[in-house]
Structure 1
Amino acid sequence: RIKSLLEKVSAKDADGFLLSEPNNIFYFSGFRSASQSVLLLLTGSPSALIVPELEFEAASSETSGLDVAKVPRGGKLVDQLSTIMAERRVGSLLTDEMPLLLFRSLSEKVRNVKLTLETDLIWELRKIKDSSEIEKIREAAKLADEGFKAACDKIRSGIREFELAAEIEYAMRRSGSEGLAFDSIVASGVRSSLPHGTSTHRRIETGDLVVIDIGAVFGGYRSDLTRTLCLGHASDEKLRMFDVVRTAQSESHRRLLPGTRCGDVDSAARRVIEAAGYGEFFVHGVGHGVGLDIHEPPRLGIGGEEVLAEGNVVTNEPGVYVPGLGGVRVEDTVVVRAGGAEALTHAPKLFEV
């Protein structure tokens, strides 16, 4: 990965790439720091990982092929970084989106070094998952499936949204999840029309639509799964909403192929929803990339010109959200493959429970 990136850096006539975003550092080094660290990748000199003293032992044992430098207690990261840059005669660097305070401090410290923001090169590599990354996401997807199983087991009239979320999260952690991919969403009743409605103290009632949006983490990689349940008997309108969303998801799934424009995937789902009269209630894109971050390129939205490639891992999540009635979303984490998209999440698409 480092070699591929530095080849791209050389083509831009820069001396290296300075990474400060934790997931970028993890992607290229295998080390995840809980404190501010930087990874200095250089084309003509040894690369260096600079970490606080309390992270030095872990960084040294978890990385290879990198110089690991520590910031002593009471010291400043920019001082250590600028010293190494001077020793290695760095004149220009590409950077990821570093914290503003770090950027200002570094700019003042190394006024003779040109710093250029460049994120596209990173995403060109990160958005195409190799087999080991896909297997980690697959494991994270299995853990999310376990979470949904717990939701089906525990849901009942009178349970609060945050209580059901806790049961889901416990099931995922107990099964091996390293954490939550994002804050779990359990949104019920009229609140289910909020696409990102967080879990609250509201008690779930018979007849409610309940949107459950959850994700697990395995090996640092994330999954994303949404199912919508109706507690008890569903009205004809709610059943229709569910059927429309299911059909829309099937249509967009068929178009998750290498060479397809992202906007065309969105359009496939959107046409179904619009034809059913719910077009104004589909208020987001049909999907996004997933990996070390829960939202990554490519973005599958209206008019998206980016073209899908083999190895992209994306969500497929059409939804209908009717204020005052409720919402329905169905979402899977999917690998783009030449022979047809492969869903990694397999939780049953139940409705009435």
Structure 2
Amino acid sequence: MALSSAEVTKVSELERLKTLHNGTKQQLTFSDAEFERRLAGLRRIMAAKELDAVILTSYHGIKYYSDFLYTTFGRNYALVVTADSSTTITANIDAGMPWRTSYGDNIVYTDWKRDNFYFGLQEALKRNGVKASRIGVEDDALPLMTRQAIAATFDGATLVDVSQDAMRQRMIKSAEEIEVIKHGARIGDIGGEAIKAAIREGITEYEVALIGTEAMVHEIAKTFPHREVRDTWVWFQSGINTDGAHNWATTRKLERGDILSLNCFPMTSGYYTALERTLFLGEPDERSLQVWNANVEVHKRGLELIKPGAVCKDIAAELNEIFISHNLLPNRTFGYGHSFGVLSHYYGREAGLELREDIDTVLEPGMVVSMEPMVTILDGEPGAGGYREHDILVIGEDGGVENITKFGFGPENNIIDA
């Protein structure tokens, strides 16, 4: 039934924006000093680009500078940063949770008018006395329609991309970040052990995945009791399903002789870590063992090559030569590793720090990278399946490199006789 004119007027008078300081601020993942360090880095980017403000709209950008990880469900979110303020813009459906779980101020927008999100962006600048003529945005994760709407909201302002500069800032981890990442690696190992213990003939991939996920979620809750528990998952694959690195668990039942792929992904307050291992249920055949050992050879050499001063593309080139010697280079499925930090399978990526032939980034202290070679032999060929190992390495301030993954790899550790 249509609303009466009086009812329409009543709705139009409802608040477009709200202040919802419901409850008290909760303990965040990092200290106030850590968030101020991050914001200071962003403000240096702003100064270099002569920006009056930055409007961050990505999962990873908002999370990194405020600790708030949003759930979009068709709504927009932002973090507006000026020279002396930071304000999250969040939807009324989340009520006071974004304010409680973020660093800085918060403005809530309601659903009563379609453009209330953009009205909130304007209000964040108005409250802080900022008239923006140059605004930073994240073009790597900003939909065109949203970019156009921001440009229309701030008519006459120039929008300038800051995504690549912010990404380079995120590449270098602080001591507090590295501590969270180390916990993540430890928790991934716990998930791996739970999975390894569950492997047997007849169990389904998804049942194994649930066992690993539950083990990790309990440990995350124990380790980070003050933060939300979300997004942890497992990809457990068997047989032909191992051919891709990102293949989700299915109802396939494990059979003796199967190649298996264990992939644990604990999410600790938006920080992704990973444990990935090749296993076999029973003794592998001769060709499978050859391919597995070749991938392990690359993995071991890759672990040695990750050190300060190494260049990403040079690491990739040397590892390629090992695969060439085994006639396996065409079977390689992706690059040899990537940066860790605020990322997930649905948000974030520090694409400038990947171990690929087209990346010339130099490794330096504070970076956290993986070594994860993978080759796939197609179905019907000897040794069919996907072979993958994955360790996480922290490059220390003293030039040392610490492998924070402790779960064993290779045939000597992961042939399951169950």
TM-score with structure 2 setting the length = 0.79
**Which runs of no fewer than 5 residues in structure 1 stay unpaired?**
none
Provide the rounded CA distance (Å) in 2 between the counterparts of 1:283 and 1:220.
Answer: 26
Structure-2 change in CA distance of 1:270 and 1:341 (3 Å): farther
Cα RMSD over matched residues? 2.0
**Which runs of no fewer than 5 residues in structure 2 stay unpaired?**
1-37, 222-228
Structure 1 position 24 matched with structure 2 position 69: no
Provide the rounded CA distance (Å) in 2 between the counterparts of 1:63 and 1:197.
Answer: 33
**Matched-pair contact (CA < 8 Å) for 1:33–1:55:** no
| Matched length | 350
Q: CA deviation at 1:171?
A: 1.4
Structure 1 position 234 matched with structure 2 position 284: yes
Match in the other structure for 1:328? 387
Structure 1 position 209 matched with structure 2 position 209: no
Match in the other structure for 2:96? 57
Q: Given the alignment, which residue of 161, 167, 174 partners 1:123?
A: 167
1:281-300 equivalence runs, <5 A: 281-294=331-344, 295-297=349-351, 298-300=353-355
Provide the rounded CA distance (Å) in 2 between the counterparts of 1:125 and 1:49.
Answer: 20
**Matched-pair contact (CA < 8 Å) for 2:80–2:88:** yes
1:62-141 equivalence runs, <5 A: 62-64=101-103, 66-75=104-113, 76-85=116-125, 87-96=129-138, 97-141=141-185
**Matched-pair contact (CA < 8 Å) for 1:162–1:186:** yes
Q: CA deviation at 1:63?
A: 4.1
One-letter amino acid of the structure 2 residue matched with residue 53 of structure 1: N
Q: 1:277-325: CA deviations, max 9, x gaps?
A: 2111112100111211044331111242111121111111011211021
Structure 1 position 4 matched with structure 2 position 41: yes
- Out of 102-111 and 15-24, give the one that drifted further: 102-111
Q: Given the alignment, which residue of 338, 343, 346 partners 2:403?
A: 343
Provide the rounded CA distance (Å) in 1 between the counterparts of 2:169 and 2:219.
Answer: 30
Provide the rounded CA distance (Å) in 1 between the counterparts of 2:319 and 2:254.
Answer: 29
Q: CA deviation at 1:89?
A: 0.9
**Matched-pair contact (CA < 8 Å) for 1:160–1:200:** yes
Provide the rounded CA distance (Å) in 2 between the counterparts of 1:283 and 1:68.
Answer: 43
Provide the rounded CA distance (Å) in 1 between the counterparts of 2:303 and 2:387.
Answer: 17
Aligned-partner SS, 1:184: strand
One-letter amino acid of the structure 1 residue matched with residue 357 of structure 2: I
Match in the other structure for 2:302? 252
Structure-2 change in CA distance of 1:273 and 1:173 (3 Å): same
Q: CA deviation at 1:207?
A: 0.8
Q: 1:60-87: CA deviations, max 9, x gaps?
A: 33445x3422224524110121244455
Q: 1:257-295: CA deviations, max 9, x gaps?
A: 122110122223222222122111112100111211044
Decide which structure has the larger Cα Rg and report it. 2
Aligned-partner SS, 2:253: coil
One-letter amino acid of the structure 2 residue matched with residue 118 of structure 1: V
Q: 1:202-241: CA deviations, max 9, x gaps?
A: 1111111101122101232111111111101111111122
Q: Given the alignment, which residue of 79, 82, 85 partners 1:46?
A: 85
Aligned-partner SS, 2:96: helix
Q: CA deviation at 1:46?
A: 3.5
**Matched-pair contact (CA < 8 Å) for 1:193–1:326:** yes
One-letter amino acid of the structure 2 residue matched with residue 330 of structure 1: E
**Matched-pair contact (CA < 8 Å) for 2:80–2:124:** no
Structure-2 change in CA distance of 1:264 and 1:62 (3 Å): same
**Matched-pair contact (CA < 8 Å) for 1:82–1:106:** no
Structure 1 position 179 matched with structure 2 position 230: yes
**Matched-pair contact (CA < 8 Å) for 1:146–1:172:** yes
Structure-2 change in CA distance of 1:33 and 1:194 (3 Å): closer
Provide the rounded CA distance (Å) in 2 between the counterparts of 1:120 and 1:85.
Answer: 24
1:161-180 equivalence runs, <5 A: 161-176=205-220, 178-180=229-231
Provide the rounded CA distance (Å) in 2 between the counterparts of 1:51 and 1:281.
Answer: 45
Percent identity over the alignment is 23
Provide the rounded CA distance (Å) in 2 between the counterparts of 1:302 and 1:221.
Answer: 26
Structure-2 change in CA distance of 1:34 and 1:279 (3 Å): closer
**Matched-pair contact (CA < 8 Å) for 1:253–1:341:** no
Structure-2 change in CA distance of 1:193 and 1:56 (3 Å): closer
Structure-2 change in CA distance of 1:132 and 1:83 (3 Å): closer
Aligned-partner SS, 1:153: helix
**Matched-pair contact (CA < 8 Å) for 2:52–2:130:** no
Provide the rounded CA distance (Å) in 2 between the counterparts of 1:136 and 1:46.
Answer: 26
One-letter amino acid of the structure 2 residue matched with residue 187 of structure 1: Q
Q: CA deviation at 1:118?
A: 2.2
**Matched-pair contact (CA < 8 Å) for 2:267–2:273:** yes
Q: CA deviation at 1:55?
A: 4.0
Provide the rounded CA distance (Å) in 1 between the counterparts of 2:231 and 2:287.
Answer: 33
Provide the rounded CA distance (Å) in 1 between the counterparts of 2:408 and 2:81.
Answer: 45
One-letter amino acid of the structure 1 residue matched with residue 108 of structure 2: K
Structure-2 change in CA distance of 1:46 and 1:156 (3 Å): closer
Aligned-partner SS, 2:284: coil
Structure-2 change in CA distance of 1:219 and 1:46 (3 Å): closer
One-letter amino acid of the structure 1 residue matched with residue 122 of structure 2: S
Provide the rounded CA distance (Å) in 1 between the counterparts of 2:199 and 2:230.
Answer: 22
Provide the rounded CA distance (Å) in 1 between the counterparts of 2:48 and 2:161.
Answer: 15
